[in-house]
Structure 1
Amino acid sequence: MAALSAEAIRRVCQLQREEGRQCLRELLRWEEFDDVRDLRRSIELDCLYSSVVFAMEKGLPWPAAAEAGKLTEELLNEIKGVSSPWELPPAACCSPLFLIANQKRGRQRCSTGLKRDKLAACEPKLSPFNPQVLCDYFCNTLIRHYPLYQFVLCRERDAEQTTAYLEICVPPQPLPLMAGVNAEVWQYQQQLAALSAAEAQKRTDMLLLRETLHLEREHMLQRVYDDLKSREEILDRQVLETLMKEVVGTQIQALREILQTEIQTTFEILELRLQKKVLTLNPPVPYPPPPSLEDRAKKAAKAQQQKKKK
């Protein structure tokens, strides 16, 4: 804080709280940190910022406000690991604020000459501000919550962090309002499209099944042919009849399955077409409803009259 100028302190105080905190952090040349993960650093920055803002709100000049922040930084560094604020090392006990606090509590830890020198060095920077007001500020904040500050400044936090990755799907770009339709009309169009898609899928499934059965039949015939080709003995009539019956039976079974599938699919397609026909015969009424023939005739006649006048 000693390197901060009055202009820098004024710029910090003129910003909003969060922006002012970040500006003060940059002026102090602290690295950027997360307020939640690095709670200790966040509390230290809050103390420095609050002391500077407090001095500004009390009407302290900008150099004196910088001095208030400097005193806060010194106190935070000097109280680390000290069980009681009144048991600070001699250098800390000689700070002006603690001298005032000790005088207020009737505790004397330093010589009178040393106190006079410290107060004399601090008084010009705080003038015309009453040092007692700044002392009361630290007594009501830092000293009152001293064990809490000790806990934060001296004890390491147990880090328990869970990371979850959430995929965010951006909504599609909406269509222009001119392309919008009535909700009932849109639902009607979706039903027609679904029936058409189901009919096309039925036809595709039937073609795929037909091709699959044909391929199986070809593979079976190829296996029979390879089996006959691998035999060296001469086949008699009975063996040939058995093989022919097997081949014919396989082909008949494949054709039966194809016919059954085609018949079943044809009935399903006819059912889908019937549903589509029922929908097309009962379309929803658009909103707003279209003009009647009489209204359209009047509108056309009015347009012709205006055209003749021109």
Structure 2
Amino acid sequence: MGPTKDYLHQEFVYENVMYSVQRGFPWSAVAQIASMTKELLHDLKGLEKSEVISLIQRHLVQCQLPLPHAQQKALHDFIMETCVCHHRLYQAFLNGEINLKHTHSHLEICAPPCPLPLCEGTDVATMEKQQVLRELKAADAEKMSEIHRLKEQAKEQLTAELQASLGKKVHLHAFLQAQGDAVKDILMQEIKAIQELLDLKLRQSSLLGPVHSSNVLWFFKKLSTSNSSKPN
């Protein structure tokens, strides 16, 4: 047995003896434990963990230590924990597997962010309300963009029809009728989009309260004024 193995063997026996002394075991029992652990470490060579457990239990039964049940159980648990936890280390030394090279990978562990104190948190109902408002505002912006696009489309179509009729003899009433029919579908889409926009704003005002309801009424009046100012 080499010096490294001798040191490991002595340390194993020493730890068990010191544990027994610190627990107040009788000196006769301490001597038996020292003798048992000297033999035990050699017998561990080549055993699996399950076999190690059986071996320790067998050695303790054979020793017949003059100890009460509680102290025997404490010693049993200590030896079990030592041998099982360091099983691979003991096997490596007993089998001469020293100076082995192992490859290790260092993985970065990202801990979750520390939660805010409860006093700084947001109530579930408030959070859900804010989420609904964000969705309504996004739909509002999308609908405004659609209305603007429809207005531009109608304007471009009217301009194109007007330019196409230049230089031609066209009756005014027939021309206006043709223009109305040409942009009728676009205007209907615009009216539908405006109605949907008003519905979105009403839903927002119901969530935001009476202060914002006045803004919606102002939007209604502005829209009504804008529509009434358009020539028929």
TM-score category, normalised to shorter length: 0.3 to 0.5
- Please identify which structure carries the higher helix content: 2
TM-score norm. by structure 1 comes to 0.32
